[in-house]
């Protein structure tokens, strides 16, 4: 993950010398998880998450973004609509640290040459590296193991608002498909632990709904050839 981050920063350093428009921003929002414990409701933010990001606006219609996010996820069978989960009575909590690289596409032209208010819907996707606690259960007691690494695919949709030439507001909902089934402790990868596995619903998902504020810097680009 560190090699990817260093390579990406070097790439952006070269492009910054060509006087493109750049953004740096911070975001705050709610997070929820969908997996083998607790509620199966997809967009129901209840835990806190935050992120910092850098965006390179390559044209009025697309940009590249790198971000770091820190998110808490929880699950409680008592809050599930499934009677079998309520009877089981498990609950967990975990923390996800995420580094994401991706491409953002604007539905309308979002030209940073302009000074008046503007708005566009957008889509975002890419690849994420995630770090989390390897959980497992002994009976109904959750136990935290060591740190584990995996990957995730983010798919996000949002609205982008140009409030001033230097100030951009974003509102976004993101669904993240992880490549692990153990964010919730339902399928620990350590065969030496005294535990039981019960993950039967495939890999875990986590959802983020939030807003962010970014500031532009650098000279205005010329988007023409």
Contact status, residue 47 vs residue 34, Cβ threshold 8 Å: no
Asked whether the predicted pLDDT for residue 196 surpasses 90, the reply is: no
Distance, CA of 123 to CA of 156 (rounded, Å): 6
CB count in 10 Å sphere of residue 48: 13
Residue 101 is predicted with a pLDDT of 98
Q: What are phi and psi of 90, to 5 degrees?
A: -90, 155
The band of 18, judged by pLDDT with boundaries at 50, 70 and 90, is very low
Distance, CA of 124 to CA of 173 (rounded, Å): 10
| Tokens, residue 58 | 């390559």
Domain segments of the chain as ranges: 2-217
Contact status, residue 131 vs residue 99, Cβ threshold 8 Å: no
Distance, CA of 216 to CA of 193 (rounded, Å): 50
- Closest by alpha carbon to 5, among 156, 108, 128, 134? 128
Asked whether the predicted pLDDT for residue 116 surpasses 60, the reply is: yes
Global confidence as pTM: 0.83
Residue 19 is predicted with a pLDDT of 43
Close Cβ partners of 79 (under 8 Å, ≥ 6 residues apart): 38, 39
Q: Where are the alpha helices (DSSP H) in the chain?
A: 2-16, 83-88
CB count in 10 Å sphere of residue 101: 17
Residue 141 is predicted with a pLDDT of 83
The band of 191, judged by pLDDT with boundaries at 50, 70 and 90, is low
Q: What is the mean pLDDT of residues 43-49?
A: 93
Residue 176 is predicted with a pLDDT of 98
Q: What are phi and psi of 110, to 5 degrees?
A: -120, 75
Asked whether the predicted pLDDT for residue 114 surpasses 90, the reply is: no
Of residues 105 and 9, more confidence is placed in: 105
Residue 16 is predicted with a pLDDT of 43
Asked whether the predicted pLDDT for residue 92 surpasses 90, the reply is: yes
- Closest by alpha carbon to 48, among 90, 96, 81? 96
Summarize pLDDT for 73-88 with one digit per residue, the tens. Answer: 999 999 988 898 898 8
Q: What is the mean pLDDT of residues 187-207?
A: 71
Of residues 112 and 121, more confidence is placed in: 121
Asked whether the predicted pLDDT for residue 10 surpasses 90, the reply is: no
Asked whether the predicted pLDDT for residue 8 surpasses 60, the reply is: no
Domain over 2-217 is classified CATH 3.40.50.970:
no
Close Cβ partners of 20 (under 8 Å, ≥ 6 residues apart): 56, 57, 58, 218, 221
Close Cβ partners of 94 (under 8 Å, ≥ 6 residues apart): 72, 73, 74, 132, 133, 135, 183, 184, 185
């Amino acid at each position: 993950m560190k090699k990817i981050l260093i390579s990406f920063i070097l790439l952006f350093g070269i492009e910054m010398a060509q006087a493109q428009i750049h953004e740096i921003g911070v975001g705050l929002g709610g997070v929820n998880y969908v997996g083998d414990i607790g509620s199966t409701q997809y967009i129901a933010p209840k835990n806190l998450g935050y992120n910092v990001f850098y965006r390179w606006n390559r044209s009025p219609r697309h940009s590249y973004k790198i971000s770091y996010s820190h998110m808490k996820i929880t699950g409680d069978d008592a809050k599930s609509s499934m009677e079998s989960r309520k009877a089981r009575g498990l609950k967990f909590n975990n923390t996800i640290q995420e580094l994401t690289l991706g491409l953002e596409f604007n539905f309308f032209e979002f030209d940073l040459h302009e000074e008046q208010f503007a708005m566009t819907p957008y889509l975002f996707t890419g690849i994420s590296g995630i770090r989390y606690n390897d959980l497992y259960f002994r009976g109904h007691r959750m136990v935290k193991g060591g740190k584990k690494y995996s990957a995730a695919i983010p798919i996000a949709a949002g609205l982008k608002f140009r409030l001033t030439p230097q100030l951009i507001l974003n509102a976004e909902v993101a669904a993240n498909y992880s490549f692990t089934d153990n964010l919730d402790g339902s399928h620990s990868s350590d065969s030496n632990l005294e535990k039981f596995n019960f993950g039967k619903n495939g890999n875990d998902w986590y959802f983020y709904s939030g807003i962010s504020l970014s500031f532009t810097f650098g000279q205005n680009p010329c988007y023409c050839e």
